Chain A
Amino acid sequence: DAKTTQPPSMDCAEGRAANLPCNHSTISGNEYVYWYRQIHSQGPQYIIHGLKNNETNEMASLIITEDRKSSTLILPHATLRDTAVYYCIVTNSGAGSYQLTFGKGTKLSVIP
């Protein structure tokens, strides 16, 4: 699986958009970008994933650059409950992959 690079921590004011960057310059053509988050003392939670196109769901938006070497997770209106560690993971989601490899992620603190 390709390696990802994320800033260790970020702050965001409550109600503002949180933009979390991720670099994955060695991503290959069949690898997807997945985002998970882990609220303190809980299991990780899936947020969103994409291959080439930008994606949006009820939780967040995912913007992937045209060369696919980086992406940004956007939480449009951050709340205090969005304080968590956010993980960007690149993986081949096809058969035989079997595993997600978590890095250290970005610790997002939403400030009142």
Chain B
Amino acid sequence: AQKITQTQPGMFVQEKEAVTLDCTYDTSDQSYGLFWYKQPSSGEMIFLIYQGSYDEQNATEGRYSLNFQKARKSANLVISASQLGDSAMYFCALRNTPLVFGKGTRLSVIA
């Protein structure tokens, strides 16, 4: 069975600083994808970044980067230069089919 673990229920970060949200996964599949989604208080699910299991380089999208360590089965999200608008729930998800979500991490950015 596929499994996603996010061990940080809540995180605080000072505005303009970087923050790392942890995610570990467990799968026996060789080909899979890892995703991060953001859910602000308004409730919608916003796709942030994707990493394929065969991608050799870590994915980056603007201020978001994914620290992918395949041997350790971790896919941590790094947000650089945090902004107040980054305060939200963040979900890591594993996909072969279908998408399995972690429990999420609530990030609070402090001014």
User: Are A and B subunits of one complex?
Assistant: no
